[in-house]
């Protein structure tokens, strides 16, 4: 079983996502954040399923989920992933990766 860890800023990303969606529907906001976190687990099981983003940084990968993009790295010393950020897909998130 793979494991995942997340950078502290990911909590801020998820909270921002929740707050934005919760303006209209708190249940949908909670469901969306849960789905994103479930994807963390799937990525931990299959770390290379996301798109390679070595054009920005070595070992960086991205994986879309709904309207969001998870930015992560596969952990080489153990099976799993390190979650770096979660961005809204319509943002120019690539700007943050440069």
Q: List the domain boundaries for the chain.
A: 3-97
Q: What are the backbone angles phi and psi of residue 19, rounded to the nearest 5°?
A: -60, -40
- Residue written as token pair 């909270």: 15
| Cα angle 18-11-84, degrees, rounded to a multiple of 5 | 120
The per-residue pLDDT for range 42-82, each reduced to its tens digit, is 999 999 899 998 888 888 999 999 999 999 999 876 679 99
Secondary structure class of 44 (helix, strand, coil): helix
> Domain 3-97 - what CATH class?
alpha beta
The answer to whether the CB of 21 falls within 8 A of the CB of 30 is no
Q: What is the pLDDT of residue 89?
A: 74
Secondary structure class of 33 (helix, strand, coil): helix
What is the average per-residue pLDDT within 74-94?
81
d(Cα 32, Cα 66) in Å, to the nearest integer? 9
Average pLDDT, the chain: 89
Please give the structure tokens belonging to residue 74: 């596969």
Name the pTM for this structure: 0.88
């Amino acid at each position: 079983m793979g494991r995942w860890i997340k950078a502290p800023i990911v909590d801020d990303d998820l909270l921002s996502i929740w707050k934005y969606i919760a303006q209209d529907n708190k249940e949908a906001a909670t469901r969306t954040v849960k789905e994103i976190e479930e994807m963390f687990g799937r990525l931990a099981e299959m770390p290379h399923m996301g798109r390679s983003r070595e054009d920005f940084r070595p070992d960086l990968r991205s994986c879309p989920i709904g309207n969001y993009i998870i930015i992560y790295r596969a952990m080489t010393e153990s099976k799993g992933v390190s979650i770096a950020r979660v961005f809204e897909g319509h943002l120019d998130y690539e700007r943050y990766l440069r």
